[in-house]
Amino acid sequence: MFRNMLGSVAIGSILVFGIATSTHAQSEEKKKAEESAKEAGEHAAEAGKEAGKAAAHAGKATGEATKKAAKKTSQVATDAAKETAEGTEKAAKKTKKAVTPDTTSAVCNDGTVHTGKTKTTACIDNGGVKD
């Protein structure tokens, strides 16, 4: 009988302490899980801040690159305009020279000498060209 009683007390103790240990272990695990969740939340917040900073830096870099590209485009356009103006001016001079002949001088019937595009136009108001 003492043996049965000792066995029952042993089994009862194991069950009581086992349950208490199990409850304590669950409590510890819950605490660890809560701490892990809190730590994960803090890391997520920190990662969000870093992502915001990275986006700001990327935006700034994009703005600077756009500004540089616009400046370069402006320089290229200015150079092209200058070259076009110079080419147009040269072409205009060549065209004028080809279309407008040199002037000539002529002795008119009244004895005066005049210049014009042709001898006839030079002496038109002076009695014509002297032969």
What's residue 123's pLDDT?
A: 92
pLDDT of residue 8: 66
Determine the Cα–Cα distance for residues 16 and 36; give it in Å rounded to an integer: 30
Separation of first and last alpha carbons in the chain:
169
Please tell me the distance from the alpha carbon of residue 93 to that of residue 63, in angstroms, as a whole number: 45
For 117, residues 6+ apart whose C-beta sits below 8 A from its C-beta are 100, 101, 103, 104
At 84 the pLDDT is: 92
pLDDT along the chain (131 residues), means of 10: 63 58 66 84 84 84 87 90 91 81 87 90 90 78
Nearest of 96, 98, 95, 110 to residue 122 by alpha carbon: 110
The CA angle 17-19-24, to the nearest 5 degrees, is 90
Q: Which strand (E) or helix (H) includes residue 114? A: strand 113-116
pTM: 0.37
The predicted structure's pLDDT at residue 17: 56
pLDDT number for residue 19: 53
pLDDT at 64: 87
Say which residues have a Cβ less than 8 Å from residue 4's Cβ, sequence separation at least 6. Answer: none
Q: Report the pLDDT value the prediction gives residue 33, as an integer from 0 to 100.
A: 81
For 113, the enclosing helix (H) or strand (E) is strand 113-116
What are the φ/ψ torsions at residue 97 (nearest 5 degrees)? -65, -35
pLDDT of residue 29: 80
**Pick from 101, 104, 114: which is nearest to 127 by CA?**
114
